[in-house]
A and B are shown apart, each in its own frame.
Chain A
Amino acid sequence: MKEKNLNWLRWIKNGQPLHFCPGCQYGTILRLLACALEKTGLEPAQVMAVSGIGCAGWITDRYLKTDTLHTTHGRPISYATGIKLIRPELTVIVVSGDGDLATIGTNHLVHAARRNINLSVFCVNNFLYGMTGGQAGATTPYGAITATTPQGNPEQPMDLIKLVLSLGCSMASRYPAMPLGKSPYPAIDAIVKTIRHDGFSFFEFISPCITNFGRKNKMPNPKELKEYLKNLLVRKEDVLQITAEPAPNDNDNKLVCGTFKSLIEYLNFAKKGGQQ
């Protein structure tokens, strides 16, 4: 396999061991990003990584060997906008969490997508606020138990892919940091496409927080978490084979993974997965 021989090590700072919890997949995401950056043929000096607050902000700030800017909570996209406008030749990537990009910073995400500014935004969705102790956020699944929703989350989560596509974004992807279906290297090619895309592009990693989300929702080990993700996620190639009617229970609905280029395309797949 080609990916095995990629010299991704040159994209990673000497900061190991990683500061993430045991079982947290953020280290995997760091490596997927490094592999993809290596695959794009860019040099570290050509890349600028902007991150926000939270565990996901550390992925680039501490470990990616490029220029990095670790910003205030929720604002990385606005900082990246300024950088991109002044240095358009730089490849600017934004890596941050769902609480950062999609809850406190939704405004900037929405407007960057609307402006179609040439940024690649990587949202690492861990379903809650991990670093502050596992409070519910805008992407917490319905019914999930968190530190602030001990009875189960009463609110509906936000579909980020649908959000950015509805604003005219022409490249949005959703992948977990693990193999899904048959393809063993799931996300790397999609990340490369996202980085190369001319215009605003969005990428959502699904990587539930094993410490806060996993323990409270009866999946404290990678084994149970993998089962949970296998039930939750479905590749867009596979979703067409689902023949059963969408279940009325929200928990049975599936999130469609893949790369989507328009809202209509996404909605077609999402409907099959049982999403409204």
Chain B
Amino acid sequence: MVEIKINPKLCKKCGWCAQFCPKKVFGPKGEILNPTDCSKCGLCQLLCPEGAILLGEQPREHQRIIQSPDMLRQMVREAGKFGLGWSIRRSLSEPGPCFISGNGACVRGALDAGCRFYAGYPITPASEIMQDIAKKFGQSSQGVFIQMEDEIGSIGAVVGASKAGAKAMTATSGPGFSLMQENIGYAVMTNTPCVIINVQRAGPSTGQPTRPAFGDLMQAIWGCHGDSPKIVLAPTNAQECYDLTIKAFNLAEIYLTPVVILTDETIAHLREIIKISGEVRSFKRTVPVFGDGQELTVTGSTHYLNGLRAASDPKAQQDLLDRLKEKMERIGRHPIIDINCHPENEVVIISCGFTARSVAKAVYNLGLGKKIGTIVIKMLWPFPFNEIEAAISRRAKVIVPEMNQGQLIHLIRELNCDPIPLNQTNGLPIEPQSIQSAIKDCLRKGCRQ
């Protein structure tokens, strides 16, 4: 007779054993009635949902402490302070000047930064990025390209590839970006580095696919549900498309977070000369990835430091959000912003994206010297509140020109500087002339009290 043991801690008295047992050993609530009838078939042990039934001697597995990925990350972060992870790579593109569109510059930047995975879905005006990468990855074996069935699949594959150790990116436009939101939040939750380029077009909905706008600013910063902070960059020209894409990959890898790059249709399709230096400083994370044998547990649910779910623990939730917030504060200490201000400024113009170039042209046309100051924000989140507050003089009026109905201005309003909006939503870039007349208007009315 073989010994049948039922672990009372595990048994839920469901009664499946009575249904399976061919010899009717078990009663309807899992009690052992006829142990002598047992034929040692082992079916009960295999099919008991709770694993409560043990038949005779069992092979025992030694309990091992699961290594926590976050603890390893901590160690790696410590090591990162001593310069681990950084390397100087030769850029894949030829050094020197290059005549290229903004989309092309993003591709060059991504490849030079070491991007090895691209998943995408065609969408105007971002399709060129996908086509270029498909061509590049097709010619060499430096990376993997896949065209997914939709943008949700694209960002999913990007997060998966990134978790498996590759630097990964995708590019899309407004409608696709909306579809991606849930899974961008997943990348935030699971500390997954990835780069998402959003080539903005005029919306809402399908809108005007071939026209520029800057209407995704709020969505890029606060689009995902829950508090899910992520880095948002906004280049103003092709050169910055190249530089900031490299920067985006480095930031993503250093801070283990998704990075959104906001360009627009005009930057994406405008061909300009950019300079490629030939050497790229690139960071590669040294945290464990899938397939390293670390038994990583990654979940989008609230989790403890070791990755195990904590779906109803208030402390775990608080700690997790604090960690995310603290990470953003650390990133915010290194803002990317062009400040060209002076205490004698009467007008300060704050802008981002393509509009910054119209602003520069307008200021140049007016030639008013120190009367006009400009601020160009290139890292939109974490938002450089302190830097802007310090730069604006007390008496200067603030103008915020934007290609939307007023999104950047909401952030500026937090600084209590009473900004003046200049919005244009006709699907065209803002002309320098309209900025000039807004500046003149401001100067006529006099300074702030």
Contact = CB atoms under 8 A, between A and B. Distances in A.
Interface stretch (B251-259, B294-302, B368-376, B392-400): B294-302
Nearest to A10: B61
Contacts of B298: 67-70
Nearest to B59: A7
A196 interface: no
Given A7-B59, A178-B47, A85 B144 contact: yes
A83 B164 contact: yes
A24 B146 CA distance: 38
Interface in B385-410: none
Given A23-B15, A78-B157, A82-B158, A4 B49 contact: no
B157 A1 contact: no
Contact of A1 (B28, B42, B164): B42
B148 interface: yes
Contacts of B63: 14
B46 A35 contact: yes
A223 B182 CA distance: 41
A50 B49 contact: no
Interface stretch (B6-14, B200-208, B234-242, B322-330): B6-14
A61 B48 CA distance: 20
Interface stretch (A26-34, A139-147, A198-206, A266-274): A26-34
Nearest to B144: A85
A67 B301 CA distance: 16
Given A48-B291, A83-B161, A86-B144, A107 B46 contact: no
Interface stretch (B50-58, B84-92, B332-340, B414-422): B50-58
B135 interface: no
Say which size band chain B's interface belongs to.
35 or more
Contacts of B161: 82-83, 85-86
Nearest to A80: B160
A72 B16 contact: no
Residue of B48, B58, B149 most packed against chain A (CB within 10 A)? B149
Contacts of A24: 14, 49
Interface of B: 9-10, 12-16, 18-20, 22, 28, 40-43, 45-51, 55, 58-61, 63, 66, 116-117, 119, 144, 146, 148-150, 152-154, 156-166, 168, 182-183, 186, 290-301, 308-309
22 contacts: A22-B12, A22-B14, A23-B14, A26-B49, A27-B51, A31-B47, A32-B46, A35-B46, A45-B291, A67-B291, A67-B296, A71-B156, A75-B156, A79-B163, A85-B161, A86-B160, A86-B161, A87-B165, A108-B149, A111-B153, A184-B22, A184-B41
